Copies of this chain bind each other. A is one copy, B any other.
Amino acid sequence: MKNFKLTIEYDGTDYHGWQIQPDKKTVQGSLYRAFHEFAGEDVKITGAGRTDAGVHAVGQVASVRLETKHSPTILRKALTGNLPRDILVRHVEEVPLSFSARFDATSRSYNYIFITRKTALWRRYYHYVKTDLDREAMRTALATLRGEKDFASFASSSDIKSTRCRMMKAELMENGPLLTISLTADHFLYNMVRTIAGVILDVGMGKPIDMDELIEARDRRAAGKTMPPNALYLMSVTY
User: Which residues, 120 to 136 on A, are CB-close (under 8 Å) to B?
Assistant: 120-125
**Which of A58, A118, A124 has the most chain B CB atoms closer than 10 A to its own CB?**
A124
**Once the chains are docked, how many angstroms separate the CA of A121 from the CA of B119?**
18
* A85/B9 in contact, CB under 8 A: no
Bound state CA distance, A85 and B10, in angstroms?
A: 23
Q: Are A88 and B120 in contact (CB under 8 A)?
A: yes
Tell me the chain A residues, 82-131 only, with Cβ under 8 Å from chain B: 85-88, 118-125
A5 within 8 A of B: no
- The reply to whether B88 and A9 form a contact with Cβ atoms under 8 Å apart is no
Copies per assembly: 2
Tell which of B9, B88, B120 touches A11, judged by Cβ atoms closer than 8 Å. Answer: B120
- A side interface size, CB within 8 A: 17
Query: At the interface, yes or no: A56 with Cβ under 8 Å from chain B?
Result: yes
Q: Which of the residues B58, B120, B122 comes within 8 Å of A10, measured between beta carbons?
A: B120
- The answer to whether A58 and B125 have CB atoms under 8 Å apart is no
Selected contact of A86 from candidates B9, B11, B58, B123, CB within 8 Å: B123
Q: What residue in chain B is nearest A56 (Cβ atoms)?
A: B121
> When the two chains form the complex, which single residue of B9, B10, B85, B122 contacts A125, counting CB atoms closer than 8 Å?
B122
Contact residue among B11, B118, B119, B121 (Cβ-Cβ distance under 8 Å from A123): B11
> Residue among A9, A10, A87, A121 with the most chain B CB within 10 A?
A121
Q: Judging by beta carbons under 8 Å apart, are B85 and A121 in contact?
A: no
In the assembled complex, the CB of A80 is this many whole angstroms from the nearest CB of chain B, namely 9
Using CB atoms and an 8 Å cutoff, list the residues of chain A in contact with chain B: 9-11, 56, 58, 85-88, 118-125
Nearest 9 CB-CB pairings of A with B = A88-B120, A9-B120, A11-B121, A10-B120, A86-B120, A11-B120, A87-B120, A85-B123, A56-B121
List 11 extra interface pairs beyond A58-B121, A87-B120, A121-B125, CB under 8 A. A9-B119, A10-B120, A10-B121, A11-B121, A11-B123, A85-B123, A86-B120, A86-B121, A88-B118, A88-B119, A88-B120
